Structure formats: structure tokens, C-alpha cells
Amino acid sequence: MTSAKGFTLIELIVVIILLSVLGAVGIGLFSAPSQYAVKLAADQWLSQFRFAQRLAFLKQSASEPIALVVNQTSNSWTVAARQGTSILNTFNIDYDSVSIRSSSSDFSSACSALPAMVFPATFYFDGYGNAVDASRTQLSINQRICLIAANTVELCISPSGYAYEGSCLP
């Protein structure tokens, strides 16, 4: 007599039930997009800051810094990298109930206590990649940016122009 190999009906039903439970738990992880909306927006902001700094290195202009101009619309931030009157790149960052606050002097208060960022916001980078002001004078202090929704992500732009995620030091 040969024995049949395979799964019994009970084993198949148990596997189907386990897969259903795991699927329901997995779907629940993605049901609240606000949990990761802040991190996604912060990563995109960080990417744009680093892109602008790289453009400044590539363009190497002492007279015309790279300007990263950020405007806010009803559902996104429009980021434009400019040099003089030339638009080098534009990018949209969608936000889902993410608010943004910034300061260049308050590094110890909670992000929610910082003033809201005023748009259009402009960040300048000189030919060496340093953070500068509109008159091309190198900044001497960090710029703190907080993105706030269900959780908070802090970004910092150092005077050297390097943008990173984390708390700024005074």
C-alpha cells in the first residue's frame, strides 16, 4: 500500500487562517499614513538641501549663489533651485497635515514652540557649498527646521551648508 503525501485539509485551513491574520496585521501598519508622512517629507527636504549644496559646488559662482526657494501651495511645497534668473530644478514635496517650523536662534525649545516657517523661504549656498545669506555673507549659526505631524523630525543646516537630520547645536 502506498502512502499519499501532501497536506491534510486541517493543515491547509490552519495555514489560510494564519495568512489571514498576518495580512490583517500588515494592512493595519499602513492604515495611518500620517505615521510616516513626516519622515517622508523630511527625507525629501533633506534631499533638496543636499542637492542645492552639490549644485553650488558644481556651478562654482562667486557672484551668484544657488538659491533654494520653497513655496507652499494647498497640498505641497514647491522647491526650486535657482542661480540668478535661471531655474536649475524644480521639485514638489507633498505633505499630509505636516506643519513646518524653523529658527536660527532657538535650539533648545520644543519644535512646537518655534515660529511657523514663512513662505516663500529661501536658502542660499555659495560656490563652496557654504550656507550664506542673500548678500553672500557666510552664516555663522545653524538653521533649525522642524517638520511636525503625528511625530516630529528635526533637520539642521550647518554654516558649512551640510544638511542633516537631528538636533542642531547652538
Q: Is residue 20 part of a domain?
A: no
Q: What is the pLDDT of residues 71-97, one digit of tens each?
A: 998 889 999 999 989 999 999 998 878
Q: Is residue 7 part of a domain?
A: no
pLDDT for position 5: 78
Q: Is residue 93 part of a domain?
A: yes
Q: What percent of the chain has pLDDT over 70?
A: 92
In total, how many domains does the chain have? 1
Q: Is residue 143 part of a domain?
A: yes
Q: Is residue 159 part of a domain?
A: yes
69 or 169: which carries more pLDDT confidence? Answer: 69
CA distance 168 to 143: 8
The three-state secondary structure class of 76 is strand
Could you tell me the residue range of the domain that residue 104 belongs to?
34-165
Q: Is residue 5 part of a domain?
A: no
CA distance 91 to 95: 13
Q: What is the pLDDT of residues 121-140, one digit of tens each?
A: 999 999 999 999 989 999 99
pLDDT band at 37 (very low <50, low <70, confident <90, very high): confident
Give yes or no for residue 26 having a pLDDT over 80: no
What does DSSP assign to residue 114? S
pLDDT for position 24: 76
**Which CATH number goes with the domain that contains 98?**
3.55.40.10
The three-state secondary structure class of 10 is helix
On average, the pLDDT of the chain sits at 88
Burial of 16 (C-beta count, 10 Å sphere; 0-12/13-18/19+): exposed
Q: In the block, which residue shows the cell 536660527?
A: 104
What does DSSP assign to residue 134? T
pLDDT for position 29: 60
Contacts of 111 (CB under 8 A, 6+ apart): 101, 146, 148, 152, 154
